[in-house]
Amino acid sequence: MRTFKRILLVAGCLLLVAQIPFAVNLYRTARLASEIEEMNRSRSSVPDLGFKDYKGVIHVHSFVGGHSTGTFDELIRAANENGLDFVVMTEHVANEFDSSAKTLNEKHGRAIWIGGNETTTSGGEKFLVIEGFDELNKLRFVSTDELLSEIGGREKLAFVTYPESFKSWDSDFDGIEVFSLHTNAKGMNPFLFLMDAVWSFRTYPELTMARHFRRPSENLARFDKVAESRKVSLFGGNDAHSNIGFHLFGDDANNKLFEIKYDRYGTIFRLMRTHILIPEHEELSREAILAALRSGRSFLGLDILGDSSGFVFYSEAGNGAPVASAGSDVARGSVLQVVSPLPARIVILKDGTKIFESEAVRSAEFEAKETGTYRVEAYLDSLGAPFDEMPWVITNPIYVRNPSALNTGVPKPTNQN
């Protein structure tokens, strides 16, 4: 009996000692939240370049497509509480009806809702189709080329989702989901995250998750390889389902006696947003949102670390010429400029290779003397690990061409507006 008690005592002491790192992480997360709050108070204004910045989320599911019990009321409330301007729904394709038409469309609160679909080809490759359309259910499990031909013929967007399992990189798609909250979460150490969640999730749900994120290096390398030869857009996918957690006792009407949920819509919408740039003379509309996503006038921001609204990557030709934003073609020798509302380490990559890096600054510029595909990553090193390696902002590219290839009737790359 004494031996058993000693074993219990030793086990209890070991369990208590094992909690120390996670209690320390709670303190670190609280300090991180304070640092972010203080940093956001120091936001600076950004130049007026003729665009308005609108923020939203892409890759969102509800009960309509299965895989989720999330309701429309929950979605609309989460979008309104987080000040979103647009939400792109991507319901799983249904057998007997057009799930993109049955989900949220039109405007609710301040946000414009766009009904899309998530579908799969015969080779298991997955796409987000924006906007969705009737009869897409009949195209499930056709070849990738057949699906993309049909989507392109209807002038819809085809975005690669789950690029880690994608193979058809020579096919004619419009964009790549380089950062997925769902995929990044799957890569977390489940034990370490669960123990952190026990201590920190209730008070700091988003930061508890974000502290386990890692740069999606392989997906960014895949994007850079494709973007070397043609225009293509990158984006971040929230992959919001509101279906991870557990509950005790419940019914089919979604009434639960006790529930813990890790991926509530509000949590996922606060973590990361896609920002689009719309010419200031245009109203925000479905058409304007889709045009910005198609052309790459957008960037993704891990906004839980700091509101990235106003971050700009551009080239200014002067002489009254329009500003060239991300997604644009500019001539070799152009000066690429970055302006950030928060002090950040600016990294410029050409064809996926780092060619410029600053200290923590609010602006930077670089003369693009060589043709290529240039994009920006921004890091908030002051927040410590892992955010010295996990980007706060990832922009779409600016494409630097030889002057003779601009406005000369030379065939333009695919996917260009």
- Please indicate whether residue 148 or residue 137 has the higher confidence score (pLDDT): 148
Q: What is the pLDDT of residue 323?
A: 84
Can you read off the two tokens belonging to residue 84?
């979103």
Which of 219, 236, 88 has its CA nearest to residue 156?
88
Which of 41, 36, 58 has its CA nearest to residue 275?
58
Mean pLDDT for the stretch of residues 132-139? 87
Question: Which helix (DSSP H) or strand (DSSP E) does residue 57 occupy?
Answer: strand 51-60
What does the alpha-carbon distance between residue 61 and residue 388 come to, in Å, rounded to a whole number?
31
pLDDT beyond 50 at 339:
yes
Q: Which residues contact 208 (CB under 8 A, 6 or more apart)?
A: 29, 193, 196, 197, 200, 201
What does the alpha-carbon distance between residue 407 and residue 412 come to, in Å, rounded to a whole number?
9
- Please indicate whether residue 48 or residue 110 has the higher confidence score (pLDDT): 110
Q: What is the pLDDT of residue 17?
A: 53
**Across all residues in the chain, what is the average pLDDT?**
86
Which of 33, 30, 20, 31 has its CA nearest to residue 195?
20
Burial zone of 309 (CB within 10 Å; 0-12 exposed, 13-18 middle, 19+ buried):
middle
Relative orientation angle of helices 20-40 and 190-200, to the nearest 10 degrees? 70
What does the alpha-carbon distance between residue 60 and residue 87 come to, in Å, rounded to a whole number?
8
Residue that the structure tokens 């003779």 belong to: 404
pLDDT beyond 60 at 383:
yes
Q: What is the pLDDT of residue 261?
A: 54
Pairing of strands 111-120, 86-92: parallel
Burial zone of 188 (CB within 10 Å; 0-12 exposed, 13-18 middle, 19+ buried):
middle
C-alpha distances in Å from residue 175, one per residue of 160, 237, 276, 336, 398: 6, 11, 14, 23, 15
pLDDT beyond 70 at 31:
yes
Q: Determine what percent of the chain is predicted with pLDDT higher than 90.
A: 61
Q: What is the pLDDT of residue 16?
A: 55
Q: What is the pLDDT of residue 255?
A: 55
Say if residue 367 is preceded by a cis peptide, omega within 30 of 0. Answer: no
pLDDT beyond 90 at 152:
yes
| Cβ atoms of residues 348 and 323 within 8 Å | no
The HSE-up count of residue 51 (CA atoms within 13 Å, CB side) is 26
| Cβ atoms of residues 82 and 56 within 8 Å | no
DSSP, res 211: T
Cα 310–chain centre separation: 16
257-269 pLDDT, tens digit per residue, is 444 555 789 999 9
pLDDT beyond 50 at 392:
yes
Mean pLDDT for the stretch of residues 383-410? 85
282-326 pLDDT, tens digit per residue, is 999 999 999 999 999 999 999 999 999 999 999 986 555 678 899
Mean pLDDT for the stretch of residues 342-367? 96
Q: What is the pLDDT of residue 411?
A: 37
Q: What is the pLDDT of residue 8?
A: 62
Burial zone of 335 (CB within 10 Å; 0-12 exposed, 13-18 middle, 19+ buried):
middle
Amino acid sitting at position 309: S
157-207 pLDDT, tens digit per residue, is 999 999 999 999 999 999 999 999 888 877 777 777 777 777 687 888 888
Band of pLDDT at residue 138, cut at 50, 70 and 90: confident
Q: Which residues contact 29 (CB under 8 A, 6 or more apart)?
A: 200, 203, 204, 207, 208, 211
Cα 234–chain centre separation: 9
Q: What is the pLDDT of residue 410?
A: 35
228-271 pLDDT, tens digit per residue, is 999 999 999 998 876 554 444 455 555 554 445 557 899 999 99
pLDDT beyond 90 at 227:
yes
- Please indicate whether residue 355 or residue 406 has the higher confidence score (pLDDT): 355
Q: What is the pLDDT of residue 185?
A: 74
Q: Which residues contact 154 (CB under 8 A, 6 or more apart)?
A: 133
